[in-house]
Amino acid sequence: MSHTPDLDDWASEEFGAAELGDARLTRRFVMLARRLSTSPHCSFPQSFNASELKAAYRFFDNPQVDVDGVLGAHIGQTLCRMQQVPIVLAV
């Protein structure tokens, strides 16, 4: 049985709480995650058209975007998922 998650819901749930100092940056981050999740095996130039690629590079070059801001929401969602199961294996 294969389950295909709704990518809109997944990206919003996973990264919608990212604290990047500006709601527009958070929306851009969700959009980037949503787009990249459709082709995780591809590079940025393969995943985005020209204008999206430029926007992605501008996003990651923004001084407000840092590792804590990008990973914070993801780590929080991971911890929530871990609390829903009795055993978590870290391989």
pLDDT digits (tens, 9 = 90+) for 49-84: 999 999 999 999 999 999 999 999 999 999 999 999
* Distant-in-sequence, close-in-space partners of 26: CB < 8 Å, separation ≥ 6: 15, 16, 18, 19, 20
Both tokens of 30, joined, read 């969700």
CA 33/CA 46 separation, integer angstroms: 14
Selected residue with higher pLDDT from 8 and 17: 17
Q: Phi first, then psi: what are they for 32, rounded to 5°? A: -65, -45
pTM metric for this prediction: 0.80
Which of 51, 53, 31 lies closest to 42 in space, CA to CA?
Answer: 53
CA 72/CA 63 separation, integer angstroms: 16
Which domains does the chain possess?
7-83 (1.10.246.40)
Q: What is the pLDDT of residue 4?
A: 47
Which contacts of 74-83 are long-range, i.e. CB under 8 A and separated by 24 or more positions? 74/14, 74/15, 76/17, 77/13, 77/14, 77/17
Q: What is the pLDDT of residue 90?
A: 87
Residue 16 has pLDDT above 70, yes or no: yes
